[in-house]
Amino acid sequence: MCGIVGILNIGDRPAPQRGELETMITRLHHRGPDGTGFLLDGPVGLAHARLSIIDLAGGQQPIANEDETIWTVFNGEIFNYIELRHELLAQGHRFRTGSDTEVIVHLYEQHGERFVDFLNGQFAIALWDSRQQRLILARDRTGIRPLYYTEAAGRLVFGSEVKSIFAVREVPRVIDLTGLDEICTYWSTLESRTVFSQISSLPPGHMMTVSAGTISVRRYWDWEFPERGTGSNRDAGDYADELRELLVDAVRLQLRSDVPVGAYLSGGLDSSIITTIIRNFSDTPLRTFSLTFDDAEFDESAHQQEMVKYLGTEHTAVRCARTDIAAAFPKAVLHAESTMVRTAPAPLMLLSGHVRASGYKVVLTGEGADEVFGGYDLFKEAKIRRFMAAHPDSTLRPRLLEKLYPYLRNSPGGGHAFARTFFGDGLEHIDKPYFAHMPRWSTTQRISRFYSTEMRQQLAARDPCAAIESLMPVASRNWTPMAKDQYIEAHTLMSGYLLSSQGDRMAMANSIEGRFPFLDHRLIEFANRLPPKLKMRGLTEKYLLKKSMTGLLPDAVRLRTKQPYRAPDSASFFVDGKPVDYVADLFSAGSISSAGYFDATATGKLFEKCRAGKAIGFADNMAFVAVLSTMLLHEQFVRGAGVAPTVV
């Protein structure tokens, strides 16, 4: 795991200088504290900050092929590098190091731009072909590792994080209002957009090629599903056996490291599967870490301890109080480089800090299983709502909504009449690909009530539903409804929030590499071919995944209903009605009006409501966190302070 930056002249400009690359890469020291490396070759300059995981002595980047005509800097891991190395040696390639990075340049020699097709990993790659004077940028299939770029003053500037790009003085620092509104709708920006104007993200599964001043971007991989009606007569037990073998192999590959590897253990199904596989199918010592909360509504320590006892793992937990979240939140925003609608990333940043202090650099997590195998309540909601649309007078299915959220104090399914109204909203969109997501988005979009008049005017023509439809591949017209639900979830919440703000950024804030076995592309492709009934049987989520673990997990864990990871939101920023100082400052009428994104009167009322402890449900809490994180983003990046404010 590392940080990368680069500059490529695409106009008539002087060659990049080492000094400016040093300034850029210094901003990413947290991603790679173990060393830096540089390449200056005519129109291109590359730099790398290293977090040493594999080949501790010889893996310093940039790394080149035999005649030093192809160079790469790379952020991430290639998990199948050992197998690829054997194949490339047999094809006549010669290696100088034992690093996984070196397979990239030799694969490119062998296969050209198709080299990415052979990689099993999580990566952001910059490759310079000096013979062709061609720069290639590539990002992993699901967007685990970030890569941003911009064009400024005749140069392409790129980096693992936006803060490294902002080190180049020609790059403007401006919030993109459409990007902000997308986060306040979908929880993430879409495709290549970011929350900053003129800063783009290379989308997951995409490759950029820059040659002779021409920039082209293409998709090399995507989530694909069979046509509706395409069936299989295979027994569920056969599928479960194949799934278990794939999971074991994915974990085996991702345990490869020259440093100790730990694992997160939340107490839920997904992390329990990963840790159980480590215990039963590898010789890696099992070291686990978890979060616990003072607030019982969010705490899962009892379930965690059940698995700790079952596995006999060496385990430690980080206890997180509301005051800890308030203190950590500015730093979390600084690393996330994005507006956020939940505080949940901040405790994970505290957890990664504990992992680092415990002497670990790598952890495996269960992230991705819900998107791949249909684990979220959203998929259950959609199934019931589709029934409601087809049978509007039925009294049976709406009652099932009351059982969807046993972990919520104020469940939208808690009252029968309210449940029918809440989940009946948007039934007219039954034929649209975004149908399943409408309840979540309509809740999040309530943040727009706090927009300033100027922001409302500039966003008046935006159609959030049309934007989603434009992302859908033509083939999706023939997919099952659940396949469409999964596709949108993977391309919004997962890639843009869970793997970014809540994933890579919170781990790398403390120089920790997170690994995600459930996002092995072989597992995704296997799961996408499954009949929907094997993902959700009735209202039992992740049916086949649970079946594949029969006998390996206690049934109390294996059959437990999904409880998503959450953390206290607006309540974290007030103690006995008194706000944390930086929060009061950022919510002041002067600060709100000066920034210009929100209405001072409306946000003032929201502030007082939250201070009085009267914020109810997701809408108020998400609005509060969105306003606060946006104001922090404005202070840290637009105004140029570049640091998190002191918490008093």
460 SS3 class = coil
The H-assigned helical ranges of 174-235 are 177-186
Q: What's the pLDDT tens digit per position in 163-200?
A: 999 999 999 999 999 999 999 999 999 999 999 999 99
Label residue 407 by pLDDT band (50, 70, 90).
low
pLDDT of residue 116: 98
Alpha-carbon distance of 143 to 150, in angstroms, equals: 18
336 touches 506 (CB < 8 A): yes
pLDDT of residue 648: 40
Alpha-carbon distance of 574 to 585, in angstroms, equals: 13
Which pair of structure tokens corresponds to residue 197? 């104007």
* Pick from 549, 628, 615, 533: nearest CA to 340: 628
Alpha-carbon distance of 207 to 199, in angstroms, equals: 17
> Phi and psi of 71, rounded to 5°?
-125, 150
CA angle, residues 508, 327, 272, in degrees to nearest 5: 50
Q: What are the residues whose beta carbons fall under 8 Å from the beta carbon of 633, sequence distance 6 or more?
A: 175, 195, 333, 337, 338, 339
Q: CATH top-level class for 223-565?
A: alpha beta
Question: Is pLDDT of 416 > 60?
Answer: no
Alpha-carbon distance of 570 to 326, in angstroms, equals: 9
Q: Is the pTM of this model over 0.75?
A: yes
* Average pLDDT of the residues of the chain: 93
Q: Higher pLDDT residue, 384 or 70?
A: 70
pLDDT of residue 48: 97
Provide mean pLDDT across the span 211-219: 94
Q: What's the pLDDT tens digit per position in 494-551?
A: 999 999 999 999 999 999 999 999 999 999 999 999 999 999 998 899 999 999 999 9
Alpha-carbon distance of 488 to 490, in angstroms, equals: 5
Label residue 59 by pLDDT band (50, 70, 90).
confident
Label residue 395 by pLDDT band (50, 70, 90).
low
238 SS3 class = helix
Provide mean pLDDT across the span 272-295: 96
* Pick from 402, 404, 432, 429: nearest CA to 418: 402
Label residue 414 by pLDDT band (50, 70, 90).
low
**Owner of token pair 């046993």:** 406
Label residue 644 by pLDDT band (50, 70, 90).
low
The set of catalytic residues is: 2
* Pick from 139, 137, 132: nearest CA to 211: 132
pLDDT of residue 617: 85
pLDDT of residue 127: 98
What's CA 9's distance to the chain center, in Å?
A: 31
Domain 2-219, classified CATH 3.30.930.10, yes or no: no
439 touches 426 (CB < 8 A): yes
Question: Is pLDDT of 290 > 90?
Answer: yes
Nearest 10 degrees: Cα torsion 222, 227, 229, 231 = -50
363 touches 289 (CB < 8 A): yes
Q: What are the residues whose beta carbons fall under 8 Å from the beta carbon of 383, sequence distance 6 or more?
A: 482, 536, 539
596 touches 627 (CB < 8 A): no
Provide mean pLDDT across the span 54-79: 93
pLDDT of residue 307: 94
Alpha-carbon distance of 254 to 513, in angstroms, equals: 11
Label residue 14 by pLDDT band (50, 70, 90).
confident
Q: What are the residues whose beta carbons fall under 8 Å from the beta carbon of 289, sequence distance 6 or more?
A: 262, 263, 264, 265, 315, 316, 317, 318, 351, 354, 355, 358, 363
Q: What's the pLDDT tens digit per position in 495-505?
A: 999 999 999 99
Question: Is pLDDT of 379 > 90?
Answer: yes
Q: What are the residues whose beta carbons fall under 8 Å from the beta carbon of 525, sequence distance 6 or more?
A: 224
Share of the chain above pLDDT 70, in %: 93
DSSP secondary structure string, 382-435?
HHHHHHHHH-TT-SHHHHHGGGS-TT-TT-TTSSHHHHHHHHHTTGGGTTSTTG
Label residue 423 by pLDDT band (50, 70, 90).
low
Provide mean pLDDT across the span 277-288: 97
Question: Is pLDDT of 417 > 90?
Answer: no
Which pair of structure tokens corresponds to residue 592? 């709100």
Provide mean pLDDT across the span 466-479: 96
Share of the chain above pLDDT 90, in %: 84
* Pick from 470, 475, 505, 561: nearest CA to 348: 505
Query: Half-sphere exposure (CA, 13 Å, Cβ side) for 394?
Result: 16
564 touches 406 (CB < 8 A): no
Question: Is pLDDT of 408 > 60?
Answer: no
pLDDT of residue 399: 65
575 SS3 class = strand
pLDDT of residue 243: 98
Which pair of structure tokens corresponds to residue 431? 């034929």
**Owner of token pair 């029934």:** 387
Q: Where are the domains of the chain?
A: 2-219, 223-565, 570-638
Query: Half-sphere exposure (CA, 13 Å, Cβ side) for 196?
Result: 23
Q: What's the pLDDT tens digit per position in 104-160?
A: 999 999 999 999 999 999 999 999 999 999 999 999 999 999 999 999 999 999 999
Provide mean pLDDT across the span 203-220: 96
Minimum mean pLDDT among 27-31, 338-342, 553-557: which range?
553-557
Provide mean pLDDT across the span 11-33: 94
DSSP-derived letter for residue 449 is G
Alpha-carbon distance of 529 to 351, in angstroms, equals: 35
Residue 454: what residue type? E
Which pair of structure tokens corresponds to residue 305? 């301890």
Q: What are the residues whose beta carbons fall under 8 Å from the beta carbon of 8, sequence distance 6 or more?
A: 16, 43, 44, 45, 135, 155, 156, 210
Query: Half-sphere exposure (CA, 13 Å, Cβ side) for 223?
Result: 29
pLDDT of residue 328: 98
